[in-house]
């Protein structure tokens, strides 16, 4: 008689089931008192009250973390809810929400969004990043939306808990999101893209939280209720639709760098050095270089060894590729190379990577970095809804602003929030007087007194050695006076070109009524780097003067969870910092307003310091004579 042998896996499974059954009955017997006198197992104490309390506390914290941001998770649908679909997350009470590019590629440029309150809200596309698979939409239909704060993906570690929320398989008929809990399985992962530089997942997070079709674009949360990633890709067993515990999320720090471009209604592009590095003898060596590229013109040569990029030591060529894939076009970078015994630090802006003729991903996004294949073996690249030109709409050409009116509206919102941050609730203070030390090379060389009124009028008095200089703004006119010479009237453009006046004039202009910002000049150009962090760059050109640019802090400190807090961080009369730029730092509360206690005057992409104004004392003035701000009469 022939006997069949079970596979080891099946035998093991049967054994496990037997032991589980035996253990279950043992628990029952122990709880009922049977065998308790004879079985040593039953003599072991159960979970202690203090241990149970810790378990319940952790459970309560997890539930609270979910409840805090549950209402910010979005179910994204197309206009007729029949084409496209996915998830998203609102990060701003004004209704701005993040999702995947491949979600809106299928859904189109507008649609409806479901929230946990069970209601559907209209949404409209603002900007797209085909290279990084990110899109920005804006919901409408209420004054303020629930939102989730954006965290810091640099703090994510392997083993951290990870909450994925979204609308898998479009199950949520009541619009309430599905929540899955897992751990971070890997960080700084790289998943190749499709097409021409599209859907590249660089420096991404790998999680075993269940991510299924429909989860695309939804948030990945830590247990502090902060968004640390945007879910977008998963591996499925046998190319079916069953999750096998391999999900990938775009790091939120990458998203932050691209948010200003998305808010500017741009089709964002990723950056390149226009050079290729490879591994050779344990070193990362430049083996291909466009000799007309900014990097080559700044000193990079074939055969150079990459030592450090953006403050990180480079030991692998793949590491450099991973880092570069997360940076926008025109992003300023600094890196160090070695050529023999020579070390050189190079600062340049990245060039844009091109897209194909029609940047069109598969509607449901790629799996395992591959495109879906048709029966003929060729990738299915059917043009998705977003790129069909329906209703006369197509995303902006790569790198271009798509909708100037929306852009100006976003710009005005940012400036209004900046004023709200600067102007604390009115108190008794009419003006403040700052007493500053003027520093060069960290040595005191002079003093400054800055008087600034809540309505924007100002007086700057600088003493450096025997030299005396005064600048002022009386509410209508800027002026300057050197020593005892007659005062000279300045146009707004001339005033903003004077660093010592500009460091006060930029605050003065922001304190003035919002009506002054409307019209020509206030346009959101996109993103830039200031002090190593992402920032909004605004074209702040005066209506009848030379160009002027203002940089605002891009995003709030995640610990404060307040996206409406926006502060000016830099001002210059040119984008590249050829002229001296003013850095506004160390913001502190004063009665009636918020002020920067340190103003650095810098130059160039590397923000090389020229001199510093450091506040030593801030005095509150309950009243100031109008003559204080007026130009001296002859």
> Could you tell me the sign of the dihedral formed by the alpha carbons of 362, 365, 367, 369, in that order?
positive
Residue 522, H or E segment: strand 522-530
CA–CA distance from 228 to each of 187, 251, 552 (Å)? 12, 6, 22
Quick one: pLDDT at residue 545?
58
Residue 382 scores a pLDDT above 90: no
Could you tell me the pLDDT band of residue 338, with boundaries at 50, 70 and 90?
Answer: very high
Residue 506 scores a pLDDT above 90: no
- Identify which has the larger pLDDT, 35 or 230: 230
Q: Is 133 assigned a catalytic role?
A: yes
Quick one: pLDDT at residue 317?
95
pLDDT tens-place string over residues 91-110:
999 999 999 999 998 888 99
Region of residue 228 (phi > 0: left; psi between -120 and 50: alpha; otherwise: beta):
alpha
Q: What mean pLDDT, rounded, does the chain reach?
A: 83
Residues 6 or more apart whose Cβ sits within 8 Å of residue 336 = 306, 307, 308, 309, 343, 344, 345, 346
Quick one: pLDDT at residue 46?
78
Catalytic residue among 87, 185, 209, 216: 216
Quick one: pLDDT at residue 424?
62
Q: Record the tokens describing residue 285, joined without a space.
A: 């060596």
- What does the alpha-carbon distance between residue 547 and residue 478 come to, in Å, rounded to a whole number? 17
Q: Record the tokens describing residue 449, joined without a space.
A: 């007194």
Contact between 335 and 312 under an 8 Å Cβ cutoff? The reply is no
Q: Work out the average pLDDT over 305-332.
A: 96
- What does the alpha-carbon distance between residue 133 and residue 129 come to, in Å, rounded to a whole number? 6
Quick one: pLDDT at residue 438?
96
Share of the chain above pLDDT 90, in %: 58
Quick one: pLDDT at residue 34?
41
Q: Which domains does the chain have, with CATH numbers?
A: 68-267+393-402 (2.40.10.120), 271-352 (2.30.42.10), 406-628 (2.50.20.10)
Burial class (CB in 10 A: 0-12, 13-18, 19+), 312: exposed
- Least confidently predicted of 189-203, 345-359, 549-563, 590-604: 549-563
- pTM of the entire predicted model: 0.84
Residue 378 scores a pLDDT above 60: no
Could you tell me the pLDDT band of residue 517, with boundaries at 50, 70 and 90?
Answer: very low
Q: Would you mind telling me the total number of residues written for the chain in this entry?
A: 634
Q: Work out the average pLDDT over 452-456.
A: 86
Q: Work out the average pLDDT over 253-268.
A: 95
Quick one: pLDDT at residue 395?
79
Contact between 270 and 131 under an 8 Å Cβ cutoff? The reply is yes
Residue 262 scores a pLDDT above 70: yes
Q: Is 325 assigned a catalytic role?
A: no
Catalytic residue among 133, 208, 261, 528: 133
Residue 366 scores a pLDDT above 80: no
Quick one: pLDDT at residue 622?
83
Burial class (CB in 10 A: 0-12, 13-18, 19+), 513: exposed
- Identify which has the larger pLDDT, 21 or 238: 238
Q: Work out the average pLDDT over 521-546.
A: 82
Catalytic residue among 87, 92, 102, 421: 102
Q: Is 403 assigned a catalytic role?
A: no
Q: Work out the average pLDDT over 187-210.
A: 91
């Amino acid at each position: 008689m022939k006997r069949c042998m079970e596979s080891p896996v099946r035998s093991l499974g049967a054994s496990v089931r037997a032991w589980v059954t035996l253990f279950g009955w043992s628990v029952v017997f122990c709880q009922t008192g049977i065998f308790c006198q004879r079985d040593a197992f039953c003599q072991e104490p159960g979970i202690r009250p203090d241990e149970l309390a810790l378990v319940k506390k952790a459970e309560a914290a997890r539930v609270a973390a979910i409840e805090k941001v549950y209402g910010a998770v979005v179910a994204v649908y197309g206009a007729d809810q029949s084409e496209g679909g996915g998830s998203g997350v609102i990060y701003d009470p004004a209704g701005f929400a993040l999702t995947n590019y491949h979600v809106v590629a299928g859904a189109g440029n507008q649609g409806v969004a479901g929230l946990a309150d069970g209601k559907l809200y209209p949404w409209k596309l603002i900007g797209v990043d085909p290279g990084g698979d990110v899109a920005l939409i804006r919901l409408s239909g209420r004054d303020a939306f629930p939102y989730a704060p954006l965290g810091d993906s640099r703090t994510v570690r392997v083993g951290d808990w990870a909450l994925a929320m979204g609308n898998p398989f479009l199950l949520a008929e009541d619009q309430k999101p599905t929540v899955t809990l897992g751990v971070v399985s890997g960080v700084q992962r790289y998943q190749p893209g499709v097409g021409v530089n599209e859907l590249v997942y660089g420096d991404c997070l790998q999680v075993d939280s269940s991510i299924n079709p429909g989860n695309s674009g939804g948030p990945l949360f830590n247990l502090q209720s902060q968004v640390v990633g945007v879910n977008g890709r998963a591996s499925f067993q046998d190319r079916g639709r069953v999750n096998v515990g391999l999900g990938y999320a775009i790091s939120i720090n990458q998203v932050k760098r691209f948010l200003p471009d998305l808010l500017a209604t741009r089709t964002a592009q990723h950056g390149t050095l226009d050079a290729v590095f490879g591994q050779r003898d344990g070193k990362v060596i430049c083996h291909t270089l466009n000799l007309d590229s900014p990097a080559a013109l700044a000193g990079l040569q074939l055969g150079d060894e990459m030592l450090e990029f953006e403050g990180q030591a480079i030991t692998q060529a793949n590491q450099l590729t991973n880092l570069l894939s997360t940076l926008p076009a025109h992003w300023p970078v600094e890196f160090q190379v070695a050529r023999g015994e020579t070390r050189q630090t190079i600062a340049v802006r990245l060039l844009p990577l091109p897209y194909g003729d029609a940047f069109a991903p598969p509607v449901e996004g790629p799996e395992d970095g591959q495109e879906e294949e048709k029966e003929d073996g060729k990738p299915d690249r059917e043009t998705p809804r977003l790129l069909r030109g329906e209703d006369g709409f197509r995303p902006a050409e790569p790198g271009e602003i798509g909708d100037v009116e929306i852009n100006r509206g976003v710009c005005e919102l940012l400036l209004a929030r900046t004023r709200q941050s600067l102007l604390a609730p009115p108190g008794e203070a009419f003006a403040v007087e700052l007493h500053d030390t003027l520093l060069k090379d960290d040595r005191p060389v002079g003093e400054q007194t800055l008087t600034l009124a809540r309505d924007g009028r100002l007086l700057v008095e600088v003493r450096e050695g025997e030299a005396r200089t005064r600048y002022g703004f009386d509410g209508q006119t800027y002026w300057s006076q050197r020593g005892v010479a007659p005062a000279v009237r300045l146009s707004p453009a001339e005033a903003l070109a004077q660093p010592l006046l500009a460091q006060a004039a930029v605050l003065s202009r922001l304190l003035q009524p919002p009506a002054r910002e409307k019209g020509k000049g206030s346009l959101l150009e996109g993103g830039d780097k200031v002090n190593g962090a992402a920032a909004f760059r605004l074209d702040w050109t005066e209506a009848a003067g030379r160009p002027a640019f203002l940089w605002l802090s891009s995003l709030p400190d995640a610990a404060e969870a307040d996206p409406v807090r926006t502060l000016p961080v830099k001002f210059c009369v040119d984008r590249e910092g050829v002229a001296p730029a003013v850095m506004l730092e160390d913001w502190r509360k004063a009665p009636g307003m918020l002020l920067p206690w340190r103003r650095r005057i810098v130059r160039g992409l590397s923000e090389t310091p020229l001199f510093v104004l450091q506040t030593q004392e801030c005095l509150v003035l309950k009243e100031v004579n109008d003559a204080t701000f007026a130009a001296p009469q002859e």
